[in-house]
């Protein structure tokens, strides 16, 4: 059986950096590492903690949306709504602001 799981961008960065120490990365892996280095702002541990807090705090927060939120780290209501744009549930302005407050604890803290 094929088992899949979500991986945060910070985890991808860490995995690719470790792999780059052992061997030369493929072109695609090098591009992915470059992207991760440019956009990752939290450690894998902080990212996992944020993801878990989002899932625990918000009943509507699906695992994939928590990962996407932790990877993008939106700073405004519109950014949070963009994360949910393909989901059936749209957070209220208050819920989006609460998500932003959780993110700020990691980004500014």
The domain that holds 83 is classified in CATH as: 1.10.150.80
69 and 50 in one domain? yes
For residue 29, what are the domain limits? 9-39
- The average confidence (pLDDT) of the chain is 95
8 Å CB contact between 82 and 90: no
52 and 95 in one domain? yes
Which pLDDT score is estimated for 22?
96
Asked if residue 28 belongs to a domain, the reply is yes
How far is Cα 77 from Cα 97, in angstroms, rounded to an integer? 6
52 and 30 in one domain? no
Q: What pTM does this model have?
A: 0.89
17-50 pLDDT tens trace: 999 999 999 999 999 999 999 999 999 999 999 9
92-106 pLDDT tens trace: 999 999 999 999 999
Which pLDDT score is estimated for 4?
85
Burial status of residue 84 (CB atoms within 10 A of its CB: 0-12, 13-18, 19 or more): buried
Asked if residue 2 belongs to a domain, the reply is no
Helices (H), the chain: 9-22, 27-39, 44-57, 63-72, 77-83, 93-107
Burial status of residue 54 (CB atoms within 10 A of its CB: 0-12, 13-18, 19 or more): buried
48 and 62 in one domain? yes
Residue 59 has pLDDT above 70, yes or no: yes
Tokens 């932003």: give the residue: 100
């Amino acid at each position: 059986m094929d088992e899949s799981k979500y991986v945060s961008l910070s985890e991808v960065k860490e995995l690719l950096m470790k792999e780059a120490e052992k061997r030369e990365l493929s072109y695609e892996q090098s591009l992915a590492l470059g992207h991760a280095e440019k956009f990752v702002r939290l450690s894998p541990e902080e990212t996992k903690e944020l993801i878990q807090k989002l899932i625990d705090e918000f009943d509507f927060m699906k695992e994939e949306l928590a990962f996407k939120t932790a990877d993008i780290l939106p700073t405004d209501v519109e950014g949070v709504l963009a994360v949910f744009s393909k989901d059936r549930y749209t957070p209220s302005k208050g819920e989006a602001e609460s998500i932003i407050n959780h993110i700020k604890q990691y980004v500014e803290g």
